[in-house]
């Protein structure tokens, strides 16, 4: 069955990999990213099975305009994936510039709220759909020198679990740990050790089917993409 899927942060990494995999599986995908060049490249690569917009997910009015366009074109999403995220440079908490800490919180938490707020009313009205927001083990266990990232992912866990108690039966809100994947984000934190982990194009082969199998029975659960 063809599904309508909305994904943020599709310019690279996990978001881009998910776009290509979902389209290959026969689904309709609407996505957004800040890079005009990356968005145009995706339009050319994906063709009519995708709809991509240049959107800063921190701009609430821009997110609302994007959602309005998507909802008019294809209707409420069956699956909404909050993927966009950033990480600060490794540093002790007291050495992180406040503006850098704020940016991580803004992108990783406030943008998730902006996107959910824009799509949730239509999904609630239909009483159907799954909202997945990428979390992290860092938000559960905590790690040194990435305090902003840990705090932001802990917030994603809390927001998702709270919202899960508010949505109607038939829907699901799930904080999902994608696992450790060799992306640009990981390069900046792990260095050479990042190469020990799967690239997005490998990860997505197990991630996409797993995500598509999530449903109302998983509402409020904190889950993780299996390693195998």
Residues forming the active site: 149
CA distance 201 to 20: 9
Q: Which residues, in sequence order, are CB contacts of 194 under 8 Å at separation 6+?
A: 182, 183, 186, 187
Per-residue CA distances from 146 to 101, 124, 151, 190 (Å): 10, 35, 9, 12
Nearest to 1 by CA among 212, 222, 217, 227: 212
CA distance 23 to 2: 10
Residue whose entry in the numeric block shows the structure tokens 């406030």: 110
């Amino acid at each position: 069955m063809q599904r309508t899927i909305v994904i943020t942060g599709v310019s690279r990494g996990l978001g881009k990999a998910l776009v290509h995999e979902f389209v290959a599986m026969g689904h309709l995908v609407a996505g957004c990213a800040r890079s005009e060049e990356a968005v145009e490249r995706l339009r050319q690569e994906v063709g009519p099975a995708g709809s991509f917009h240049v959107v800063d997910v921190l701009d609430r009015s821009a997110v609302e305009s994007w959602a309005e366009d998507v909802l008019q074109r294809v209707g409420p999403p069956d699956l909404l994936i909050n993927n966009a995220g950033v990480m600060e440079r490794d540093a002790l908490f007291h050495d992180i510039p406040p503006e850098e800490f704020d940016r991580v919180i803004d992108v990783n938490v406030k943008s998730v709220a902006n996107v959910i707020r824009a799509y949730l009313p239509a999904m609630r009205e239909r009483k159907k759909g799954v909202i997945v927001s990428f979390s992290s083990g860092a938000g559960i266990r905590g790690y040194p020198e990435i305090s902003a990232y840990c705090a932001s992912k802990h917030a994603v866990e809390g927001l998702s679990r709270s919202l899960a108690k508010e949505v109607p039966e038939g829907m699901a809100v799930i904080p999902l740990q994608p696992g450790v994947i060799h992306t640009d984000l990981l390069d900046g934190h792990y260095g050479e050790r990042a190469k020990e982990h799967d690239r997005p194009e490998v990860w997505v082969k197990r991630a996409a089917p797993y995500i598509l199998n999530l449903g109302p029975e998983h509402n409020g659960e904190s889950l993780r993409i299996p390693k195998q």
